[in-house]
Amino acid sequence: MHIYMMTRGIKQDVDRFITELSSKYLPYKLKGKQQWVQVAVRPIQLWEVVFPQEHRDIMLATLFEDGKGGLTQHKKHQKYVNLMRMGLGVKKIPTVYDTKNWLPLYRDNIEKIGIGMKEDYKIDGEERI
């Protein structure tokens, strides 16, 4: 069972709520054996990652090591990602980019969903990140 919810409040209080919630265990029957399972609290967060345009490929390879631009795990969720992209006014993340160079980064146990990207404003021909 999955419950989707949002929180709003003082950060340290929200952090404590999440920490305490994730420290709870519930009984769970698996293959006829009674076990205990930890309540999994999985944040769904929206991030904006900003970097110079010349490093586009290395950042795409760092964030989306699969070389597919961060497609959703479940294809039925892609329609919501498309709506978010429209709402944010950004373009689809390319699926063709150089994947041989990337920045070392811990990436285990995280689904990274690419929503979109946009170019920076330019003033006098210079990128303003």
Residues 75 and 91 in one domain: yes
Contact present, 63 and 49 (Cβ < 8 Å): yes
pLDDT of residue 15: 93
pLDDT of residue 91: 94
Residues 38 and 50 in one domain: no
State the 10-residue block means of pLDDT for the chain, 129 residues long: 82 93 94 94 90 92 77 80 93 89 85 89 85
pLDDT of residue 18: 93
**Domain range holding 9?**
1-42
Residues 7 and 52 in one domain: no
Which run of H or of E encompasses 60? helix 56-63
DSSP secondary structure of 62-101: HH-TTSSS---SSGGGHHHHHHHHHHHT-BPPPS----S-
Residues 50 and 61 in one domain: yes
Q: For residue 83, with 0-12 CB atoms within 10 Å meaning exposed, 13-18 middle and 19 or more buried, which class applies?
A: exposed
Residues 29 and 81 in one domain: no
pLDDT of residue 5: 78
Q: How many domains does the chain have?
A: 2
The token pair at 125 is: 């021909």
Which residue has 């003082």 as its token pair? 10
Q: What is the pLDDT of residues 88-100, one digit of tens each?
A: 999 999 888 888 9
